[in-house]
Chain A
């Protein structure tokens, strides 16, 4: 799997957009970018994933740069319940069975 780099922590005011960056400069052409989050004391929760194009669902948007070496997860209107650790994971057909969570970004949404 391609190595990912995320800032260890970020803050965001409630109601504002939270933009979480991820660098994956060694990503291969057939590897997807996945985002999960883990709210304290709960199991990881899938958020979104993409290959090349930008993606949007009811939870978030994923913006992948044209060279695919980095991406940004956007929570458009952050709430206090979005406080969590966010993990950017790169996976492809040859990635095996484990998800490599790394240390992620701890997002704190403040009132």
Chain B
């Protein structure tokens, strides 16, 4: 049982490049989330999906797009990466009134 799987684990991009971060879960959870964590700070919500087919903006959505491909998968896309998007990105899932479960993160550096 893998839980929440994020790929890739590490990535280095140049400014202006695009990339998609992948998140997949095998827990049959309805809700999925994307957070970013900058050094010395807590997690900030980028986007979330309360259920398959729906997505909504979180606290810091600018510069990102998401796709809830199916119940299992929720991807985060950077269309034109900027150095300010250098961060660690975490995907999380949850089902009805239960705690969120997190993946191990994607460490993204943008030069």
Contact = CB atoms under 8 A, between A and B. Distances in A.
Contacts of A41: 105
A40 to B, nearest CB: 11
B42 A46 contact: no
B100 interface: yes
B103 A97 contact: no
Interface of A: 34, 36, 41-46, 49, 87, 97-104
28 contacts: A34-B99, A36-B99, A42-B104, A42-B105, A43-B92, A43-B102, A43-B105, A44-B100, A44-B102, A45-B102, A46-B99, A49-B99, A87-B42, A97-B31, A97-B45, A97-B48, A97-B56, A97-B58, A98-B35, A98-B45, A98-B48, A98-B58, A98-B59, A99-B43, A99-B100, A100-B42, A102-B42, A104-B42
Contacts of A104: 42
A28 B33 CA distance: 25
B50 A97 contact: yes
B63 to A, nearest CB: 18
A101 B42 contact: yes
